Amino acid sequence: MHELPPLSVLARAAGGEPARLPTPALSLAERRDAGFVRLSVDLKRDADLRGGIEAVAGPLPGPNQWSERALWQGPAEWLLASAPDAAQALAARLQSGFDGRAALANDATDGLVVIEVSGPGARDRLAGGTGVALDPAPGRLALTRLGDVRVTLLFDGPDFRLIVERSLADYLWSWLSR
């Protein structure tokens, strides 16, 4: 459906390359190869839907956990990873299995921006904006506020990934690189 190449949200000119800021202390990089499906389903109420969802999207991680295939977003919400152009098809496939139940799968690729934060200064920079403990914790994520912006913070080895709403990505990038 989406025949356009994904554009950089953070480019300062149309059609630019994904934004990068490599400095010795702090390295920032915008990832444009990440697609997402936002899944809303209350698996306490509709427990029988889990099997069908996990058959398509893989195991759904528990609270504050993430895997390369799925990220926890709340008691009844997940982000499922996909290739950017495959998200819509994945959403449609999941939705068709819900059979009129209270569940919703939507392509969320365009609404989210992923920023990789790495380097020896990464932790201190993030610690200036969030009260979350930043010790390496593979597979952990935190829904938190970073410099007044709501983010999903993924612990990725010694590094971090931030998932932020598209509209706030430009501000967050400026905040991180100030």
Binding residues (CB under 8 A) for other proteins: these are 1-2, 4, 6-7, 12-14, 38, 40-42, 45, 76, 100-104, 106-112, 124, 127-133, 147-149, 165-172, 174-175, 178
Q: Which is nearer to other proteins, 56 or 102 (CB)?
A: 102
Least Å distance, CB 104 to other proteins, is 4
Least Å distance, CB 48 to other proteins, is 13
First-last CA distance in the chain: 38
Copy the structure tokens of residue 83.
């290739």
154-156-157-159 Cα dihedral, nearest 10 degrees: -90
Q: Which is nearer to other proteins, 37 or 154 (CB)?
A: 37
Q: Which is nearer to other proteins, 116 or 170 (CB)?
A: 170
Vertex 131: Cα angle to 157 and 168 (nearest 5): 80
Q: Which is nearer to other proteins, 146 or 154 (CB)?
A: 146
Least Å distance, CB 38 to other proteins, is 6
Least Å distance, CB 113 to other proteins, is 9
* The residue type at 116: E
Q: Which is nearer to other proteins, 125 or 161 (CB)?
A: 125
Cα distances from 85 to residues 89, 110, 163, 176, in angstroms, run: 8, 10, 18, 28
Asked if 112 and 120 touch (Cβ cutoff 8 Å), the reply is no
Least Å distance, CB 170 to other proteins, is 5
CA-to-CA distance for 149 and 157, rounded, in angstroms?
23
- Strand, helix or coil at 111? helix
